[in-house]
């Protein structure tokens, strides 16, 4: 099995969040064949280790195995591998596996761990488990696409809110507005707050972005109601708990449930990890670029918990995430492996 063969094998196995067992078996076997000591932890993460298990130095490469829905026929055309997960984020994960395996061909004085986590596209179950059970490592690279020359140092936060209102059924001519109008009024308060927060902010990474994810009404003749899902992307400096508290008066008696949240996170650029990646990109004749992402990743989970140097790195064009045209340039995928190998060799030192 070569580098592209590993990635093609990963992409060929469907692995929606919560259903990663098949791809986890494949990944475990592939990593074992490359010399890793492999196990699956309590929540289903695949954990592969190289080097000195007793070393006080621990370097972690954290990718994820799951994908969003949507079948894309796996094929190689014009130097591109197509398939769901090629970019987000089996490409970065496969690059991690191969780069670390190359470095591990020699005796390592450190503990080097590559992890394929579960449910990053859902509630980040795998990352939360690691944050709670694994001691903070020396440094972490998160497997997410940013292009082989890109080094991602920050992600916006997220807050997902479920609004629900149920009342006794009323005649449409009663003069009492239907439940949908109450939900829309709440949504307008959210939008208004976002607009006031964003005054003077021109960079999207600094704005509060609100999205109406779903809304539906229901009734059985005796009761009528509405349920609405709202998603918010949070900029640095916006406190999640404070925002939740601010929303309470807007609901006006409705049930408001927080179904998920992660704080925004921005990592330091002045670390040995960053310097190792900068040097590695330049050695491949690249021009390194720092990136700030408007989405979220497992960095939002383990970054605050571990407090160690951290970045996200991986091949692939992130604008193709979750799209019907998801694909990765094979040459870029291979170049990213070389960059990671050099960066790891510098870090292992």
pLDDT in tens, 269-299: 999 999 999 999 999 999 999 999 999 999 9
Q: Is the pLDDT confidence value at 1 over 90? A: no
User: CA 345, CA 339: separation in Å to the nearest integer?
Assistant: 10
- Per-residue DSSP letter, 177: P
The CATH number for 233's domain is: 3.30.70.360
User: CA 312, CA 267: separation in Å to the nearest integer?
Assistant: 10
Residue 113's pLDDT band (cuts 50, 70, 90): very high
pLDDT, residue 61, reads 98
pTM: 0.94
First to last CA, the chain: 28
**63 strand-pairing partners:** 116
pLDDT, residue 174, reads 65
Lowest-pLDDT choice from 52-61, 170-179, 315-324: 170-179
66 catalytic, yes or no?
yes
- Per-residue DSSP letter, 270: -
Q: How many CB atoms lie within 10 A of CB 258?
A: 14
pLDDT, residue 169, reads 86
* Mean pLDDT, the chain, integer: 95
Q: How many CB atoms lie within 10 A of CB 209?
A: 15
Pair (100, 136) in one structural domain: yes
Pair (233, 245) in one structural domain: yes
Q: Is the pLDDT confidence value at 177 over 90? A: no
- Residues 256-281 have a mean pLDDT of 95
Pair (175, 213) in one structural domain: yes
Q: How many CB atoms lie within 10 A of CB 125?
A: 19
* Percent of the chain whose pLDDT exceeds 90: 93
Q: Please identify, among 209, 230, 262, the residue that sits at the C-terminal boundary of a domain.
A: 262
Q: Please identify, among 209, 240, 262, the residue that sits at the C-terminal boundary of a domain.
A: 262
241: phi then psi, degrees, rounded to nearest 5: -65, -40
pLDDT, residue 349, reads 87
Pair (136, 161) in one structural domain: no
Residue 259's pLDDT band (cuts 50, 70, 90): confident
- Residues 184-193 have a mean pLDDT of 96
- Per-residue DSSP letter, 251: G
Catalytic residue among 20, 49, 66, 119: 66
| Mode of pairing for the β-strands spanning 209-219 and 327-329 | unpaired
120 catalytic, yes or no?
yes
Pair (312, 333) in one structural domain: yes
The CATH number for 16's domain is: 3.40.630.10
Residue 195's pLDDT band (cuts 50, 70, 90): very high
Q: Is the pLDDT confidence value at 118 over 90? A: yes
User: CA 335, CA 286: separation in Å to the nearest integer?
Assistant: 10
Structure tokens at 335: 């170049």
Quote the domain boundaries for residue 87: 3-155+264-348
- Domain total in the chain: 2
CB contact at 8 A, 126 and 43: yes
Pair (168, 317) in one structural domain: no
Q: Is the pLDDT confidence value at 172 over 80? A: no
Catalytic residue among 120, 298, 317, 326: 120
Choose among 71, 64, 84, 77: nearest CA to 20: 64
Pair (137, 226) in one structural domain: no
Pair (76, 124) in one structural domain: yes
Q: Please identify, among 210, 233, 262, the residue that sits at the C-terminal boundary of a domain.
A: 262
């Amino acid at each position: 099995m070569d580098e592209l063969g590993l990635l093609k094998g990963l992409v060929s196995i469907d692995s929606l969040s919560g259903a990663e067992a098949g791809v986890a078996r494949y990944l475990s076997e592939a990593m074992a064949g490359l010399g890793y000591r492999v196990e699956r932890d309590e929540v289903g993460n695949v954990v592969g280790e190289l080097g000195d298990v007793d070393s006080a130095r621990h370097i972690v490469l954290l990718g994820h195995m799951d994908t969003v829905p949507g079948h894309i026929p796996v094929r190689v055309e014009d130097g591109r591998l197509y398939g769901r997960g090629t970019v987000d984020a089996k490409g970065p994960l496969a690059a991690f596996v191969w780069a670390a395996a190359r470095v591990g061909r020699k005796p390592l004085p450190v503990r080097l761990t590559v992890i394929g986590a579960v449910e990053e596209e859902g509630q980040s179950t795998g990352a939360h488990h690691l944050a709670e059970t694994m001691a903070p490592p020396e440094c972490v690279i998160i497997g997410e696409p940013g292009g082989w020359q890109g080094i991602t140092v920050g992600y916006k936060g997220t807050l997902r809110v479920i609004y629900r209102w149920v009342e006794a059924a009323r005649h449409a001519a009663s003069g009492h507005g239907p439940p949908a109008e109450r939900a829309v009024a709440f949504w307008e308060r959210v939008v208004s707050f976002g607009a006031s927060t964003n005054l003077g902010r021109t960079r999207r990474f600094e704005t509060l972005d609100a999205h109406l994810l779903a809304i539906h009404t229901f009734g059985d003749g005796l009761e009528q109601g509405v349920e609405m899902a709202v998603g918010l992307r949070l900029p640095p400096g916006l406190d999640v708990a404070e925002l939740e508290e601010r929303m309470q008066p807007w609901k006006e008696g409705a049930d408001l449930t927080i179904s998920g949240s992660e704080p925004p996170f921005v990592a330091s650029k002045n670390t040995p990890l960053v310097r190792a990646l900068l040097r590695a990109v330049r050695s491949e004749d690249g021009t390194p670029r720092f990136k700030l992402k408007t989405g979220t990743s497992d960095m939002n989970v383990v970054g605050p918990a571990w407090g160690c140097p951290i970045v996200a790195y991986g091949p692939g064009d992130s604008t193709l995430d979750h799209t019907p045209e998801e694909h990765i340039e094979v040459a870029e995928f291979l170049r990213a492996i070389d960059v990671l190998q050099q960066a790891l060799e510098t870090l292992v030192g």
